[in-house]
Structure 1
Amino acid sequence: MAQIGGNLPYGAGHATGPVVLKAKEKTMSLTGDDFSITGEDGTVWFKVDAKLLSMREKRVLVDGAGRPVAALQKKLISLKPAWQLFRGADFQQPVATIKQKLLTLKPSVGVFLEGQEEAAFKCKGNFLAKKFEVLAVTGGQETAIAKIGKESRFSSAGAFAKAMLTDSHTYFIEAQPGTDLAFLAALCIAVDELFRDQEKKAASSGGTACK
């Protein structure tokens, strides 16, 4: 399985078993001041550094101790909106580019490692509803490594109902063993930003965003 984890210092590491993380956003974007990714016990694993939100088209993901694990920057020269992924808070050398794939019947997102023409990871599903799969691509074979959605098969019905009642912008990230969790968190932010751009363009033109 392709991995980016070696390029992302200070992260929570790789999942040693099935892991469920809860992404919580109190604004319509993952990059709001109150965005965080926690374990089901409430422990903060990752959050967006609110102090750096003023930087134009840049996002910095930190771990629970406030140490940078990954950074994202919007790629301005592109046929489609794209975000570049960096190690730590260093915006000098990207390790991957995350962009919507062209010429496909259904929306999909590809993660292209620097210097590679084929996607190492793909995301497929309903992005505006935040319900999609993350797939690792090896030798042309696609393997699901994570699922993102409003429900978690590992959560009790009571916990799920409470989460939905207290925060309509809460959803779950289910990661398989061996998954690079810092990368997965950064990818979710990038996907959110990609399709928010699409929503804004559709709204300004009077059209409807693709789902």
Structure 2
Amino acid sequence: MAYTSSSYAQPSHMANPMAMGIVGPKFLAPYPVDLTIVRKLMSLSDGNFGVTDVNGNIMFKVKAKHLSLRDRRVLLDASGIPVLSFQKKLISLHNRWVVFRGDSSDSKDIIFSAKQSSLVQFKTSLDVFLGNNEHGNCDFKVKGSWFDRSCTIYAGDGRTIVAQMHKKHTVQSIALGKDTFAVTVYPNVDYAFIVALVVILHEINEEKNDVE
């Protein structure tokens, strides 16, 4: 179950978003959902990422698939059931990741894809396309500064905010060698979809840092 933040206030410029059951209607809530995404710097058996609600209850885990020719990640629910899987396209100038339903890698099960908005970026910018769309207008945009761990996710118009992410500093996260992100998902926005975007954003920037 997801929980709401009592301090949330919807920005006056934001239109009421349409219900966005992108991964599934069970990941929608009529109120804002506050999540904490923890990336373990050392890969442990329980996954590379853990996602909790404001009460510390596990909602998702993200695990890397080993023995694969491609970079592949799987998002699991609290029961360990695959919700969706991420796969990087082997040949992609813009670092495109494709997301499938469950543990599938079949094109008929594609939910969305995300890629860098441009080859050279000084600020974080991703274009997100639902389904098999790869060349039309994007359905969502991610903008911000990965260096500052601060990003905002917009609907395709680039003005309607659907989620916001920022770095979360805690004594525990520093002591245990963890990267921790606080994410607020706006009402009626699919929070499994938002978690997937944050993970993809992290993977793209980690790869860029490795190259540099």
In the superposition, the TM-score normalised over structure 2's length comes to 0.77
Q: Which runs of 5+ in 1 are unaligned?
A: 152-159, 203-211
- Deviation per CA, 1:78-106, whole angstroms, max 9, x where unpaired? 12211001111111022222000017764
Given the alignment of the two structures, is residue 128 of structure 1 paired with residue 162 of structure 2, yes or no?
no
- Deviation per CA, 1:59-116, whole angstroms, max 9, x where unpaired? 1101001111111000112122110011111110222220000177643101012225
Q: Which runs of 5+ in 2 are unaligned?
A: 1-16
> Hey, which of these two has a bigger chunk of helix by percent?
1
**CA separation of 1:200 and 1:49: change in aligned 2, threshold 3 A:** closer
Q: SS of 2:88's equivalent?
A: strand
- Aligned residues, how many? 188
Residue of structure 1 in register with 2:9 after alignment:
none
**CA separation of 1:4 and 1:73: change in aligned 2, threshold 3 A:** farther
1:118 corresponds to which of 137, 159, 164: 137
Detail structure 1 runs of 4+ shifted over 6 Å in the superposition.
none
**CA separation of 1:100 and 1:70: change in aligned 2, threshold 3 A:** same
Residue of structure 1 in register with 2:36 after alignment:
22
- Percent identity over paired residues: 31
State the distance in 2 between where 1:176 and 1:28 align.
31
State the distance in 2 between where 1:166 and 1:131 align.
22
Residue of structure 2 in register with 1:108 after alignment:
125
Cα offset, 1:179, TM superposition: 1.2
Residue of structure 2 in register with 1:46 after alignment:
60
Residue of structure 2 in register with 1:156 after alignment:
none
Tell whether the 8 Å contact from 2:38 to 2:179 is kept in structure 1 after alignment: yes
State the distance in 2 between where 1:83 and 1:12 align.
24
Cα-Cα RMSD: 2.7
